[in-house]
Structures are given as structure tokens and as C-alpha cells.
Chains A and B, each alone.
Chain A
Amino acid sequence: MNKMKNFKRRFSLSVPRTETIEENEFTEQINQLNIRRNEDMVPNSLGLHTLHPEASPVGSDPQAPSPTQLHYRNKVQHRRFSMEDVSKRMSLPMDIRLPPEFLKKLQMESPEPCKPLSRMSRRASLSDIGFGKLETYVKLGKLGEGTYATVFKGRSKLTENLVALKEIRLEHEEGAPCTAIREVSLLKNLKHANIVTLHDIIHTDRCLTLVFEYLDSDLKQYLDNCGNLMSIHNVKIFMFQLLRGLSYCHKRKILHRDLKPQNLLINEKGELKLADFGLARAKSVPTKTYSNEVVTLWYRPPDVLLGSTEYSTPIDMWGVGCILYEMATGRPMFPGSTVKEELHLVFRLMGSPSEETWPGITANEEFKSYMFPQYKAQALINHVPRLDTEGIDLLSALLLYDTKKRSSAEASLRHAYFLSLGENIHSLPDTSSVFSLKEVQLQKDPGHRSSVFQPPGRGKNRRQSIF
């Protein structure tokens, strides 16, 4: 503690500062290397409205700036375009070529010697055609609401594509929610056909809006919609896609931690994508961390239920097994409402754990305290009669108590269960859908009322998950 006081003292000695900071000075400094994109945003984002507008507009700009716009004395002056210019451009269709003088101006931009800045200016030019701007997206209707975020269905004016707009409120005591920070920083690194794409991030005064690709349905809804009777062939295709996305995450040491049917989005082509990475985290440090309140009870592995915090990739694989069961039978596997009930359901079906199936369990105080009766493992085939032998084998491999033996995503993809999907499916590029292969096609679900696929516009029933 002494040491820290030391640092503090030295620091404040070396950095003389007045009692209150000159806000102007702060903004001005921050603005010095400003890029065009941010000129209209920075003052807002700093919440400072007491700035003195600079009297003279930028000399080289032929168009007078609108009166509402503030100018700052920038040491580095950038050529800039009036907002009118930009909005005119934005209302044009997507395939418009940028005017030649615009391109010229872009090229004339002061050459920056260092890399990140040039990336920033490229980003800035993207913003001129509408990326990063809220006006680019039209809200169509609310999909759901949570403590931190509201999700809207929307449409991009640039591409006419449907999008999901996740608005995260920033006015919290503690600033930006950590779930949002993690979700964005993780998703930015994940580019895969079976992981939901983050198109854009928009930052306004009070909100951070994440623009995701829009998928019409999720697995929960899909099951509801086909009367909980899915084609067993489609189960396999969905299962493969789930494992494919998960294997990609796990290779990057990213755990999802919250797998459940509601978090598996499905579009009209039958493409399945992992969503909601709010609880996920790049696993790059030894993990004592995380409370054991992370996974929805039904899909939570017994080791976590018993208080294990040694989280690693097997934490997700138990849930995958439960989801396979749910798709094949149409009902959740272990729908417990308390930890005790959940464990009880698991042990009753899978058998009481022994030192053999779960090394160390007999010494687990938590487990002993529950005093569960002894159960013999039941034959899974009796509970999932529609699944073939290979399917049952995979299911058993996923639902192993011993985390070290539990099948990994990578290994599961190579399971004999998927042999019928052909060999090509294993050599697909990350960003290609499994349906880019001719041999992979959905079948009609026997329980479905009208067509195989979801009718559009069922936004009201949509159970969009929100953190």
C-alpha cells in the first residue's frame, strides 16, 4: 500500500494539474489527431457541450458548414466533406461508384506513416458511405428486451438486407456493460459460416448499437414449429453445423458458456449459427474465475453444477449432447429447475457417478452432501429411439462425466454419425455454408404444418436472447 501511495504522489507531482480539468483542453487534445469520421461524434461522446466553436470554417472546403456543426482547432487538418455531401451519397443505392473527385480527395489524404492510422482512415472512408451510422438502418420492430439491451429487427439502407439491431444502453453506473465489450471484441475475431456475423458497430450518445445479420428463427422456435418432430436427417445437419461453429471457437480458446436452443439461430436456408457471446470469453488465462451461474441449468454439465470452476472447452460439449437429445426427441433432456433437481435428473438417466466414470467424485463434498440414491445408467436408445446406433454413440460420448474423456467438438465432427454427409464437408472453407455442397440438403420435417421452412414475419413469438 505504501508503494502505491508513493506512485500516486510521484505521479501527481510529475503531472501538475489544476483542481478541475480544463475540459476544453482535454477535448482539444483528443481531437488533435482526429479523423473525419469522428468529428461529429467526439463532442457528443465526451458529453461536453460547452465547447467553443471555432469561428472560421476549414479554408479549403468550398461548402460552408451547417451552423450546428462545431469545428475544433485541429493541429492536423483533414480535408472534410459536408454532411450534406455524405447524406446525399448515402441515399444512393449501394452499387454506386464514388465520385472521382471523392476518390481523388481520399488519395490526397495526408499519407500516414504508421499502420493503425491508415486502417483508421480506411474505416473513415467506409463511414462516408454509411457504415457506423445509425441513419443507415431502419428499425422495423422490437424483437425483445433485456436489462442491458433491446433488440430490434431492422433493414440496412445500403444493402436492403435485414439486420438485427442490438441496442446496448450505456448509461450505467459502471459504464459499458462487460458483456457487450466481450461480445463485440470476441465476435470481431470470429468469421465463420456457423457463427452470427457482426456487421457494424454504431456508437451514439447513449447507446451502442450492434448490427448483426438477421436470422429469422432459432432452434427453440424451429422445434416448436415442426411440432417437436424434426426429420432425423435434419437433426444431423443441424448438429454438424453446431459442432462446426463450436470447433472454430474452441480452437481459438473461446468458450461459449451459454449454449441452448434459443442461442442457435436458424435462417430460412436451414443455416444454423451460434449467437449471444455475452458470457463467452477468450480463454487465455488460467481460469479460477467465473461464478458457476453461467450456463442455463438445463444444459449445464454436472461438474459445473457441483461447483467446478476448472472451465475449459468440455463445458460446452455437455450442452451439445443435451441439444442433440432435444432435437431427436423434441423435449429437453434434463429440465431441472434447481441444481439438486438438475443433478438428480442427470444421475437418474446417466447413472450415479463412480470413481470409474468420474475420477475424484467420491471425495467431492458437495456431491456427498446431496445423498442421492444409487442409479444404474439407463440405455439411451430407449429414450431416443429415433437416433441410430452411431447417433447414440456420439450422444454417449458427449454426456460423459469425466471432462477429460468428454468428446471435443473437433473429434465429434469426425464421428461416424456424420459419415453419411460425405467427405467434402470436412474440407469446407470456414466461411462457406454446409449447403454450398450439393449433397447436403434439408428434408421435410414430418411434424411441420406447411413447409419445411419458417414463414417470415413471426417476430412476435421470437424468443431472441438478450444478455
Chain B
Amino acid sequence: SDSGFEEELQSPSPRGLPAEQPDRLTADCHQELSYDESCFTIQKNNQLKFLALGCLSRQPQITPEARCKLVSWLIALYKHFSVSFESCCLAVNIMDRFLVTTSVAADCFQLLGVTALLIATKHVEVCSPRIKQLLSLCCNSFSREQMCNLECLILVRLNFRLAAPTLAFFLDYFISKELSCKMISDHEGSDYKGFKLTEDQLSTMKRFKCFARRVCELSLADYAFNRYQPSVIVQSAISLTKDLLRTHLKQSSLQHTNALETLDLLSIGDHELHDSDSHSLTLQCTEELRLLVSLNQES
């Protein structure tokens, strides 16, 4: 399939995903709750300021199709370099916001994408990919000088505003929050620290997270989702993933009943996930995502 989405559905273990991101599902989600909350509030309130609404509307040469191809390629790139999903999301955001300020020729679009990835990894990662590597992945169509110059131009045009809230942040936040809520409510009064997920449960969780990330990746590449705030997309992606995974598990054999139970771990947050004001928006986004996912499953 085009996006590799279907493969993800069928293969039980995640493949081709960055190996880092240790399971933070269980680690320190209890202790750091208040810090996480304050961080979430700040990021959530910042979303609007970093939204690149209609970034293609005044681009003479860049079409949504071209953007889709470029972002799909960037998604492949971030996996190739084993950098975090955060870097990937940030790169797309940097690219989109630059497109709001500047028209770009079609033949420079790839350079823009790969330079945005460079900046994002410099901001997020310990080690960013070498410029040489990035250029060679563009078939050496561009020079180092062009890339460095564009890098500066992007930084200046964006006024160095790089701390954009990303899909990756909200994905991590919502999943660990739901999980910790469930764990606390299940084990109230008993020894909280003694509770650990079984191997089986962990792998289901991993799979769930990985699937939700897939949905997020698809939305990243599709220009139609450019208008939604990241937190809305993530909420939609999570509820859609639950839906799909549940259906999928039910259809397959009985040996998955354990996994199904684990999945219910995550159902607790369903109602509180949608706060009233953004409810209809989230529903709308979920439906659009569902369509997108089904399209990509068939192709």
C-alpha cells in the first residue's frame, strides 16, 4: 500500500519505526502530572499562533498533491534517520509557516522540505542528520550553500519561532494521561508502584500508539487537515484508532481477547476527551480521518 498503513494493521509488531522512544507509558507519568498539565495548557494555548492556515492558497506552483508527496517523503526520511516523530511534525509545521510568508518554486520545494527537517532536528534532537546526507537524499540536486542560505532565510522569516506544539506532543500527552488515569482508578488505595502492565498488555499498547501515530502521519501529509489544531487531530486520531483496532481485533481470532481487554484500558478517557466547545470539530475531523484512512487502506 501507498502509506504502509495496511502493513501496520497486519503486522503485530511495529516495523520501521524509530527505535528510541522507550516506553514512557508507565514511566513517571504519575509523578510529573502537574508539570505535564502545565506544559499541556501552554502548548494547547499556543496552537493557534503556530497554525499555518491556508499555506498553499497563495502559492502559484505548489499544489496540495505536491505537498502530500513531499510530506510523505519527509515521513520516510524521519524514519530513515531514526529521529523522533516530534522532529517530523515540527519540520512540516516549519515548512507550512514558511509557505505562508514566501512563494516557492516547484523545483525548490524539496529543498524547502529537507531544510525544514534539518532545522527541526537541530531544535529537537541531540544529533541531527548531516547536511551531506540530506543533500544526497535529494539526488544532490541542491548545493550545501543553497541549503544553508535557505536555512537562514527560514529562520529569519519565521523570526526563530520554532517551539510549535506538534501532533507528537499531544499524542504522547493524551495516551500517557489516559493510561495513568486508568491505572490510578484501578489501583486506588493499593500499591500503585507495584502495578505493571503485562508483556501482552505492553505490546498491545505499543501497537495502539504506533497505529495512532500512523493516522497522525497520514493527516500530516493531507492538506485538508492543515486547518485543524494538532490537539484536535490527535484526539480524533486516538478515538478513530480505538474504533478501528477494536473492530480489527474482533474480526480476527480469539487469541486476541487479551489485547482487546488491554484496549479497554484506554476507553476510560473517551468521554472526557471531547470537551464541549471542540466536540463537533473533533467529530468532523474524526470522520475526515476515517475517510482518509479508508482511502489509504484500499490503494
Please state if A21 and B159 are interface contacts (CB–CB under 8 Å).
no
Q: Are A288 and B101 in contact (CB under 8 A)?
A: no
Tell me the nearest residue of chain B to A210, going by C-beta.
B160
| Interface segment, one of B135-143, B212-220, B253-261 | B135-143
For A18-35 the 0/1 string (1 means CB < 8 A from B) is: 110110011011101110
CA separation between A261 and B16, bound complex, in Å? 45
- Nearest-CB residue, chain A, relative to B63: A14
A370 sits at the interface (CB 8 A): no
Chain B residues, CB < 8 A from A38: 156
Q: Which residues of A contact B39 (CB under 8 A)?
A: 252-253, 283-284
1/0 per position for B183-195, CB-CB distance to A under 8 A?
Answer: 0000000000000
Query: Mostly helix, strand, loop or mixed at chain B's interface?
Result: helix
A289 nearest CB across to chain B (Å): 5
Within A1-47, the residues touching B (CB, 8 Å) are 1, 3-4, 7-8, 10-12, 14-19, 21-22, 25-26, 28-30, 32-34, 38, 41-42, 45-47
Interface contact A288-B21, CB-CB below 8 Å: yes
Separation of A46 and B102 alpha carbons in the complex (Å): 14
* CB nearest to A284 among chain B residues: B169
Q: Closest residue to B154 on the A side, CB-wise?
A: A176
Q: Measured between alpha carbons, how far is A7 from B72 in the docked complex, in Å?
A: 7
> Can you list, as one digit per residue, whether each of A94-112 has a CB less than 8 Å from chain B (1) or not (0)?
0000000000000000000
| Identity of the chain B residue whose Cβ is nearest the Cβ of A172 in the assembled complex | B148
- Given the known interface contacts A15-B110, A47-B145, A284-B86, the answer about A176 and B162 at a Cβ–Cβ threshold of 8 Å is no
Partner of B151, one of A116, A175, A189: A175
Given A176-B122, A288-B21: A117 touches B101 (CB 8 Å cut-off): yes
- Tell me the bound Cα distance from A30 to B62 in angstroms: 13
Task: For B75, give the chain A residue with the smallest CB separation.
Answer: A7
Chain A residues contacting B149 (CB-CB under 8 Å) are 45-47
For B16, the chain A residues whose CB sits under 8 A away are 3
Whether B119 lies near A181 (C-beta < 8 A) is: yes
CB proximity of A51 to chain B, nearest CB, Å = 13
Closest chain A residue, CB of each to CB of B153: A45
Task: Report B-chain residues with C-beta under 8 Å of the C-beta of A176.
Answer: 122, 148, 151-152, 155
Which A residues touch B141, using CB under 8 A? Answer: 17, 19, 21
- In the complex, the answer to whether A8 meets B107 with C-beta atoms within 8 Å is no
**A30 to B59 Cα, complex, angstroms:** 11
A3 to B69, CA, bound (A): 12
Assess whether B156 is in contact with A45, with CB atoms less than 8 Å apart.
Answer: yes
| Cβ-defined contact, B42 with A21, below 8 A | no
Contact indicator per residue, chain B 137-177, by CB within 8 Å of chain A (1) or not (0): 10101101111111111011101111101101100100000
B155: A residues at CB distance < 8 A: 176, 181, 184, 203
Contact in complex: B28, A289 (CB < 8 Å): no
A312 neighbours in B (Cβ, 8 Å): 28, 32, 35
Per a CB cutoff under 8 Å, which of B28, B86, B150, B161 touches A285?
A: B86
B35, A30: Cβ atoms under 8 Å? no
Asked if A250 contacts B35 (CB within 8 A), the reply is yes
- B252 CB within 8 Å of chain A: no
* B54 and A170 contacting across the interface, CB-CB below 8 Å: no
Cβ of B24 within 8 Å of any chain A Cβ, yes or no, is: yes
Across-interface contacts of B160 in A (CB, < 8 A)? 181, 184-185, 188, 201
Question: Which of B52, B76, B161 is in CB contact (< 8 Å) with A185?
Answer: B161
- B contact residues around A26 at 8 Å (CB): 105, 107-108, 146
Interface string of B40-53 (1 = CB under 8 A from A): 00110000000011
Q: Does B58 contact A (CB under 8 A)?
A: yes
Q: Is the CB of B42 within 8 A of A175?
A: no
Given A47-B145, A284-B39, A404-B31, A7:B163 Cβ within 8 A? no
In contact, B172 and A4 (Cβ under 8 angstroms): no
- Identify which of B123-131, B241-249, B268-276, B284-292 touches chain A: B123-131
Closest to A202 in B: B156
Is A310 in contact with chain B by the CB < 8 A criterion?
Answer: yes
When the two chains form the complex, which single residue of B73, B108, B109 contacts A7, counting CB atoms closer than 8 Å?
A: B73
At the interface, yes or no: A419 with Cβ under 8 Å from chain B?
no
- Quick one: closest A residue to B169, CB to CB? A284
Residue from the list B38, B58, B145, B159 in contact with A251, Cβ < 8 A: B38
**B window 15-36: CB within 8 A of A:** 16, 20-22, 24, 27-28, 31-32, 35
- CB B26 to nearest CB in A, in angstroms, measures 12
Q: Which residues of A contact B227 (CB under 8 A)?
A: none
Q: What B residues does A10 contact at CB under 8 A? A: 69
Q: Which residues of A contact B157 (CB under 8 A)?
A: 120
The distance from the CB of A418 to the nearest CB of chain B, in whole angstroms, is 21
**Residues in B neighbouring A178, C-beta threshold 8 A:** 122-123, 128
- Are B73 and A11 neighbours in the complex by a CB distance under 8 Å? yes
From B101, B108, B169, contact of A120 by CB (8 A): B101
Contact of B147 among A1, A32, A117, A175 (CB under 8 A): A175
What's the minimum C-beta distance from B297 to chain A, rounded to whole angstroms?
16
Q: Shortest distance in angstroms between B94's beta carbon and chain A's nearest beta carbon?
A: 11
State the CA gap A291–B126 with chains docked (Å). 8
Contact, CB under 8 Å: A181 / B35:
no
Residue of A nearest to B124 (CB): A285
| Given A8-B73, A21-B142, A286-B21, A114 and B105 contact (CB-CB distance below 8 Å) | no
Instruction: Pull 17 A–B residue pairs with CB atoms less than 8 Å apart, ordered by A.
Output: A3-B76, A7-B73, A7-B76, A18-B107, A29-B61, A30-B108, A120-B101, A123-B159, A175-B118, A176-B122, A176-B151, A178-B128, A181-B119, A188-B159, A188-B161, A201-B156, A289-B125
